[in-house]
Chains A and B, each alone.
Chain A
Amino acid sequence: MNIEILIPLLAAAVQSGTPILYATLGEIFTERSGILNLGVEGTMIIGALSGFLVAKATGNPYIAFVAAGLAGTCAASIHGLVCLVFQGNQVVSGLALTILGVGVANYLGTPYVGLTAPGFDPLPIPLLSELPIVGAIFFSQDLLVYLTYIIPVLIWIFLYNTRFGLSLRAAGEYPAAATAAGLKVVGYRWLGVLGGGFFMGLGGAYLSLAYTHLWTNNLTAGRGWIAVALVIFAFWRPGRAVFGAYLFGGIMALQLRLQASGTQIPSSLLLMLPYALTVAVLVLSSWWRGKTDEPGALGTNILPAD
């Protein structure tokens, strides 16, 4: 392929992959504590709307971005409440959170459809952006993309090199043993749920503040579900999540470019690509069945000791 086409395409892949990456990292963080949160889609879209509304009200995209993360935490806390306090089924609770979140965002967002808000624009990093190829792809993006170059490393350090991270993983791997070792398993699971929700909210905010700069209903369009699938593809490891997210970003960017180029392929078939790829990727990762870091107690509840 022609390099003048390829480089912008890869740059677009990084950009489209970024919201999915935030959400995938959030879900990895949550699932590592043993809680399966299928409410990613709902949490993301709540983050997207909150970020948009705060940016509109304050004019400050930085505040809006953080607010979106906090909104994600709030949304995820509903899942925490149902699963950690009321012992509800995690699969159904997550689904319900998605139904609720999408409903709330579309309901409160309807008056704002088509309106714009201040957001983040590309901010090429001096020197680095002038590097051949890599500069255009990775270092001519916006600030929120640069953040995702650091966050996976931070999450990795937290999970694998800190006592808190070890305890969080223990809560997800073998809660009975963790409890016996004196850990407050429920507390670490709360940390997983709330912390993960924060990143999911940021992923949503990327869509409304940097990707589109405007509000439309159903803005997330299944990206939250793709993130859930990517966690499996990533074997629950932050590093592999980066790779997976850019793969999907690439497909989405390619699909948009094909549509814009006036191809004969009907748009409904092009729109199918990311969803079909998700199934393919899931099938492949279950085929390889490599050394996954799937938490042993994922999706199971902890009874409060009484």
Chain B
Amino acid sequence: MPLLRVVKRQEPLGWGSCLVLIAAICLSLLLGGIILFIGGTSPIEGLVVLFKGAFGNRYALEDAIIKATPIFLCSLGVALAFKLQVWNIGAEGQFALGAVGATWVALSLPEAPSYIVLPLMVVMAAAAGGLWGFIPAFLRQKLKTNEIIVTLMMNYIAILILDYLVYGIWKDPASYGFPMTAEFSEAAIVGKIGATNYSWGLVHCLVLGLIFWVFLKYSRLGYEIKASGDNVRAAKYAGIPYDRLVMLVMVLSGALAAWAGFLEASSTINRLQPSIMAGYGYTAIVVAWLARLNPFYIGVASFLLAALRVGVEGLQLDLQVPAAFGGIIEGLILLTVLAGGLFTSYRIVVARKAHEH
């Protein structure tokens, strides 16, 4: 069908599309300002508070980098699946199960030393998140079940599993009825880097991001992912085991999001509680798309959207703007960037037409 796809979006950003991106973000903020106005907040004051809250001081920047960590890992996972044209909307649930898996190890081995408990937490988290990625992939390949809806439904289910555990059998008897587990042992906590406020999780991100990049660029598997993402039929014809590839990629995708869940439990809040679910898995989709699935840009976009979250917290405190405002801006950015994609794609279309004549 020659009508269908015009542009591949996996290409790196050129300067022209960079401008489109900036224009899209400005337009989103403008529209966000209008929505602030409708909600009864002065749009200029609101946007100033948003910016100051996000970038105004060292603590805000620190907070943004800390919040960017889980978004980055979830987004790497999402991007991996998207590269294969598999719509994994399930990072949120895979993140939840990662946190659950890690917590299970931490609570079961309260006496174990760090070098045993931390690796086991990662493995258990990755296994749980990987399973949550495998199920929709298996159903997709064996029965052609729509993975978008299955991954989404599994988000709801995973969050309810987490709730079930922290409201039930894992509830700390000493928590005065609050739904939370006991605090992890010292050994089960990913520590801070030196005297900074950043945990070693940041280093995990750098290493995993690097592996992601090298894996896609230089490994055979990475090549197969790209080839299958571009054209499934050609890839199958070339002998790429597509079914297995999809399942493997979804397991890895789930494991990456689960890693974020492990870090969030083990380095940010040091226990499991329902508030661990902050919607990072959905933000990760916005990030992956903004960054066109490129790991370096995913890093940049994770930081920007984490900064937006920090800014919205400032808005909440200073101007009593509901937290949902963050979702509005995220949705607007995604929509305007999608719409802006036309301007980058159209150049290509016109050029091709000219060649044909």
A and B interact physically: yes
Chain A, range 80-96, C-beta contacts under 8 Å to B: 81-82, 85-89, 91-93, 95-96
Q: Are B160 and A88 in contact, CB atoms less than 8 angstroms apart?
A: no
* In the complex with contacts A95-B285, A282-B149, A87-B144 CB distance below 8 A: no
Task: Tell me which of A42, A87, A278 has the highest count of chain B C-beta atoms within 10 A of its own C-beta.
Answer: A87
B303-357: which residues lie under 8 A (CB-CB) from chain A?
A: 321-322, 324-332, 334-335, 338-342, 345, 349
Do most interface residues of chain A lie in helix, strand or loop, or is the interface mixed? helix
Q: Is B39 located at the chain interface by the 8 A CB criterion?
A: yes
Stretch among A136-144, A160-168, A222-230 lining the B interface: A222-230
Residue in contact with A279 in the complex, picked from B1, B4, B153, CB distance below 8 Å: B153
Task: Map CB proximity to B onto A293-306 as digits: 1 under 8 Å, 0 otherwise.
Answer: 00001001111000
B341 touches A87 (CB 8 A): yes
| Closest A residue by C-beta to B322 | A110
Assess whether A103 is in contact with B335, with CB atoms less than 8 Å apart.
Answer: no
B41 to chain A, nearest CB (A): 10
Would A92 and B330 count as touching, CB distance under 8 A? no
Count residues on chain B whose CB falls below 8 Å from chain A CBs. 53
Given A102-B324, A175-B3, A300-B1: A97 touches B331 (CB 8 Å cut-off): yes
Asked if A106 CB lies within 8 Å of chain B CBs, one says yes
A243→B6 CA distance, assembly (Å): 39
* Residues A92 and B146 in contact, CB atoms below 8 Å apart: no
A269 within 8 A of B: yes
Complex formed: what's the CA distance from A232 to B1 in Å? Answer: 24
A89 to B, closest residue via Cβ: B338
**Contact in complex: A100, B4 (CB < 8 Å):** no
Say yes or no: B325 contacts A228, CB within 8 Å.
Answer: no
Which of A82, A175, A232 is in CB contact (< 8 Å) with B335?
A82
Is B327 a contact of A286 with CB atoms below 8 Å?
no
Chain B residues near A268 (CB-CB < 8 A): 160-161, 163-164, 167-168
- Residue on B with the closest CB to A108? B39
**Minimal beta-carbon separation of B325 from chain A (angstroms):** 5
- A99 contacts B330, C-beta separation under 8 Å: yes
Write the nearest CB–CB distance from A274 to chain B, whole angstroms.
9
Establish whether residues A302 and B325, one from each chain, have CB atoms under 8 Å apart when the complex forms: no
A176 at interface by CB-CB < 8 Å: yes
B139, B148, B330, B338: the one contacting A82 at CB < 8 Å is: B338
Tell me if B150 counts as interface (CB < 8 A to partner A): yes
Chain A residues with CB under 8 A of B322 = 106-107, 110
- Known: A86-B342, A302-B3. Contact between A103 and B168, CB under 8 A? no
CB closest residue in chain A, given B340: A86
Contact A99 B334, beta carbon cutoff 8 Å: yes
Interface residues of A in 185-237 (CB under 8 A from B): 217, 222, 225, 228-229, 232
Closest to B339 in A: A86
Write the nearest CB–CB distance from A304 to chain B, whole angstroms. 10
Docked Cα-Cα span, A93 to B153, in Å, equals: 19
A104 at interface by CB-CB < 8 Å: yes
Chain A, Cβ-Cβ closest to B283: A99
Q: Which residues of A contact B160 (CB under 8 A)?
A: 268-269, 271-272, 275
**Residues of chain A within 8 A of B152, CB atoms compared:** 225
| B134 close to chain A: CB less than 8 A | no
Least CB distance, B32 to chain A, in whole angstroms:
10
Contacting pair B338 A303 (CB below 8 A): no
The answer for the CA separation of A175 and B2 in the assembled complex, in Å, is: 12
The complex places the Cα of A86 from the Cα of B87 at a distance, in Å, of: 21
Contacting residue for B157 out of A101, A229, A276, CB 8 A: A276
B139 surroundings in chain A (CB, below 8 A): 282-283, 286
Once bound together, how far apart are the Cα atoms of A300 and B5, in whole Å?
8
The residue on B at minimum CB distance from A81 is: B339
B225 CB, min distance to chain A CBs, angstroms: 19
The 10 tightest CB contacts between A and B, nearest first, are A100-B331, A103-B327, A88-B338, A106-B324, A96-B334, A86-B339, A103-B328, A99-B331, A268-B164, A107-B324
| 18 residue pairs bridging A and B, Cβ less than 8 Å apart | A38-B148, A78-B335, A91-B148, A92-B334, A97-B331, A99-B286, A100-B327, A106-B322, A107-B327, A176-B1, A228-B148, A229-B149, A268-B161, A268-B163, A278-B153, A279-B153, A282-B149, A282-B150
Instruction: Add 7 more A-B contacts to A107-B327, A282-B149, A283-B139 (CB < 8 A).
Output: A96-B331, A96-B335, A99-B327, A99-B331, A100-B331, A228-B149, A279-B154
